[in-house]
Amino acid sequence: MASGQRIAVVGATGAVGQTTLKILEQRKFPIRELRAYASARSAGKTVTFAGEPVTVEKLDANSFKGIDIVLFSAGSEQSRQFAPIAVKAGAIVIDKSNAFRMDPEVPLVVPEINGAAARRHKGILACPNCTTIVTVMPLKPLHDLGRLKRVVATSFQAVSGAGVNGVAELREQTIAWSKGETIKSEFFQHQIAFNLIPHIDKFVEGGYTGEEIKLVNEIRKILDQPELLISPTTVRVPVFTAHSISINAETETKIAAADARKAFANFPGIRLFDDPAQNRYPMPILVEGQDDCFVGRIREDLSCPSALNFWVVGDQLRKGAALNGIQIAELLIA
């Protein structure tokens, strides 16, 4: 770490923070100095970077002196409190929480889609929600090809998207079921093992959830299409990692399935995985640990002549969170 950027990772002991450290190393991000921050209860622990232990420090108002870029993955409350302090200290903040996403002064960036927006930052840049990133990746090439008119998106979201408690609950419930023991639900609203829960975040006016409203608002902002019609449903499923989304996309100009396949195959960050005759289609078990979003089951809508149905799966800890933030940092230093 002799030359390069001075980087701080806030939330370094969490799932996204750990993934961030791993990807920084994998992509050989140029780092001169790395600092790891977390809450008081994690201070003193160590995380590993490039084979070396890094002591985790407690986050406070003096944490950002001399730092170039701060990668926040510690939650909205911490971001709202400390991101402005980091900017005042001279750092650029890349935030993965919901704190600044809809702020008109803050770019909401998916580098493959609207990377130019990163240059317009005023100290803070936001990463979209993990489900939004996986959903919007294949929407962009379709929008470029035929201009999106309406999108219906139903997500099937892994428990790790809810954090370590979600992962622990699925594991514990599965073990209890295998032993014939009573299954306890303490974190999710209902039993998650062997079940689906069509409820992520709080319900808001109109019967939608906060997660669903995020999907609508964030896709519109990323694509710069404030009037785009989007109908969302978000579902928690008993999968450990990788979110899946079933999408119906209607465009102003009809796009044939074959042309959509070409557009997906040529778009950065998307891997076309669509060969039904060989039972090849995206699944979480295949996509976990991958950087690309996998797209398959591409077919023309039987009910609408200018719409397509397809299925996309992305690792929400990587492209859905940690990787996207690091790609933004790469844009800033390019």
Catalytically annotated residues: 130, 243
CB-based contacts of 327, cutoff 8 Å, min separation 6: 111, 112
| Residue type (1 letter), 89 | A
User: What are the φ/ψ torsions at residue 86 (nearest 5 degrees)?
Assistant: -65, -45
| Residue 243 and residue 313 in contact, taking contact as beta carbons nearer than 8 Å | yes
Q: Name the one residue in this structure whose structure tokens are 């639900």.
A: 185
Cα gap 119→328, rounded to integer Å = 10
**Sign of the C-alpha dihedral computed for residues 64, 8, 201 and 319 taken in this order:** positive
Cα gap 259→163, rounded to integer Å = 38
Cα gap 171→261, rounded to integer Å = 37
Tokens of 315: 């690792």
Helices (H) and strands (E) in the chain, counts: 9, 13
**Sign of the C-alpha dihedral computed for residues 221, 223, 224 and 226 taken in this order:** negative
Q: What is the CA radius of gyration of the chain?
A: 20
Cα gap 293→286, rounded to integer Å = 11
Tokens of 83: 């991101």
How many CB atoms are located within 10 Å of the residue 262 CB? 13
Q: Name the one residue in this structure whose structure tokens are 């926040």.
A: 72
Cα gap 245→111, rounded to integer Å = 20
Tokens of 319: 């492209």
